[in-house]
């Protein structure tokens, strides 16, 4: 089967949950023998694991400027060429990763509505590209925030289109109230161009029904990893807490840093270590400096990798005892859980969002989400061998039963074949 996966590129400079999910989908489908082409939008996908071979469409640099300053006129060709240069796109990658839509309202609404001249110019390029390629059997959109593209394609080519749903509200609800309502309403109007929606958890399925009442049916497909890549029977000599996600306020790294300091002060867990990875962007620098200040008294017990690369994922989990992500928002699915469970590492996370559904008995949940409660939960996990061993065994079991790439590809392929 030929599958075209249309994804928003983030520049590959930090752990982006949606980006990594798309990469996992592509890898799972390829491992199952299917032909997957990844089409990046906004920013290039530089990591080789993407195997991206299409041109870059809707380049972030020129499309942003066009929506901001050339909505009624045509951008000069030389200016567009300059904005789409490799240098300009690399610079944009360093500034990517904002969690707020402030300043990008027009661009966001354009991608959802699909009804302005700048949008039509870009979709014409995609249609032209289709005309010179073997047509895919299925098109899979990474997010409903690209739903305008489905509208443009369906009006020209009759190809089944699947659309993923995951954490759209984080971006859309950061818009002004009227613009957020306009965005959600526009998604609702364009659901007619989508043949099937896929959510990454039952939790987010219910969120999506609430946000987009026009959707009548949603399949749930948990993103899974290649278990063999992560499997490890070797655990670190010293108990080590792991955090592997983008280092920012929303992901709660400061809550974990304070809990770690609490545990070190009370000295209830001998030789306790903290390992941090996942990268960050320029807008997170002040926050990361704040984390350094919190951890300063115990800096010799902290391992922090500030650079990010997809190749580091499988290595990271082999060096930790458990995964911890004290998120301040309700996440649709924490992909670090799929990874940690494949490595046999349990989780300690707040009882929010999809965590209770995804973690089950493979970890401990705590509430409310503050450093005091997290300190207690981490202490309980790391000082009680029976709890730790049981959670570890349950993590491996869940990995095989629910969060493997084979399970993921089987579910996706069934959805695709149903449409064909």
Each residue's pLDDT tens digit, 122-171 = 889 888 888 888 889 999 999 999 999 999 999 888 899 999 999 899 88
Residue 29 has pLDDT above 70, yes or no: yes
pLDDT band for position 224 (cuts 50, 70, 90):
very high
Q: What is the mean pLDDT of residues 94-109?
A: 67
pLDDT at 105: 83
pLDDT at 90: 63
Question: Which residue did the predictor score with more confidence, 161 or 24?
Answer: 161
- C-alpha dist (Å) from residue 208 to 5, 19, 26, 201, 213: 21, 19, 23, 10, 8
Share of the chain above pLDDT 70, in %: 87
pLDDT band for position 314 (cuts 50, 70, 90):
confident
Residue 217 has pLDDT above 70, yes or no: yes
pLDDT band for position 52 (cuts 50, 70, 90):
low
pLDDT at 399: 97
Q: What is the mean pLDDT of residues 220-229?
A: 94
Q: Specify the residue for token string 């990874």.
A: 339
pLDDT at 411: 96
Express each pLDDT in 251-305 by its tens digit: 999 999 999 999 999 998 999 999 999 888 778 889 999 999 999 999 999 999 8
Residue 80 has pLDDT above 70, yes or no: no
pLDDT at 309: 73
pLDDT at 49: 62
pLDDT at 74: 73
pLDDT at 107: 84
Residue 119 has pLDDT above 60, yes or no: yes
pLDDT at 280: 84
pLDDT band for position 102 (cuts 50, 70, 90):
low
Residue 10 has pLDDT above 70, yes or no: no
Residue 16 has pLDDT above 70, yes or no: no
Worst-scoring range by mean pLDDT, 19-23, 35-39, 122-126, 172-176?
A: 19-23
pLDDT at 235: 93
pTM (predicted TM-score): 0.88
Range with the largest mean pLDDT of 150-164, 305-319, 386-400? 386-400
Q: What is the mean pLDDT of residues 360-372?
A: 97
pLDDT band for position 220 (cuts 50, 70, 90):
very high
The per-residue pLDDT of the chain, averaged, comes to 88
């Amino acid at each position: 089967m030929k599958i075209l996966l249309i994804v928003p590129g983030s520049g590959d400079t930090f752990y982006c949950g949606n980006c990594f999910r798309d990469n996992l989908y592509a890898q799972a489908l390829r491992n199952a023998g299917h032909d997957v082409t990844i089409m990046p939008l906004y920013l290039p996908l530089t990591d080789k694991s993407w195997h991206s071979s299409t041109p870059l469409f809707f380049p972030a640099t020129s499309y942003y400027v066009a929506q901001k300053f050339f909505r009624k006129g045509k951008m000069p060709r030389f200016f567009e060429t300059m904005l789409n240069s490799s240098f300009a796109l690399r610079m944009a990658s360093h500034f990517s990763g904002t969690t707020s839509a402030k300043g990008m309202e027009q661009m966001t609404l354009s991608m959802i509505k699909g009804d302005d001249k700048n949008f039509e110019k870009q979709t014409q390029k995609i249609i032209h590209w289709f005309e010179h390629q073997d047509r895919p059997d299925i098109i899979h959109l990474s997010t409903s925030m690209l739903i305008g593209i489905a509208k443009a394609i369906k009006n020209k080519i009759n190809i089944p289109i699947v659309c993923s749903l995951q954490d759209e509200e984080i971006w859309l609800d950061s818009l002004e109230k009227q613009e957020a309502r306009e965005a959600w309403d526009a998604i609702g109007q364009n659901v007619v161009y989508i043949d099937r929606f896929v959510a990454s958890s039952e939790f987010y399925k219910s969120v999506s029904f609430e946000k987009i009442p026009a959707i009548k049916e949603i399949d749930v497909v948990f993103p899974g990893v290649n278990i063999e890549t992560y499997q490890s029977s070797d655990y670190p000599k010293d108990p080590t807490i792991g955090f592997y996600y983008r280092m920012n306020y929303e992901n709660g790294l400061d809550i974990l840093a304070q809990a770690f300091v609490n545990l070190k002060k009370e000295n209830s867990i001998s030789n306790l270590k903290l390992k941090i990875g996942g990268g960050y962007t320029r807008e997170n620098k002040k926050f990361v400096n704040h984390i350094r200040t919190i951890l300063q008294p115990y800096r010799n017990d902290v391992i922090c990798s500030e650079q990010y690369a997809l190749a580091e994922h499988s290595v990271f989990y082999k060096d930790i005892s458990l995964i911890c992500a004290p998120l301040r928002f309700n996440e649709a699915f924490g992909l670090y859980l799929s990874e940690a469970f494949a490595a046999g590492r349990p989780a300690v996370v707040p009882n929010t969002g999809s965590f209770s559904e995804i973690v089950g008995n493979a970890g401990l949940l705590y509430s409310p989400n503050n450093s005091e409660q997290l300190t207690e939960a981490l202490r309980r996990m790391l000082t009680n061998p029976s709890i730790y061993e049981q959670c570890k065994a349950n993590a491996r079991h869940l990995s095989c039963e629910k969060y493997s790439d084979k399970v993921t590809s089987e579910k996706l392929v069934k959805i695709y074949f149903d449409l064909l």
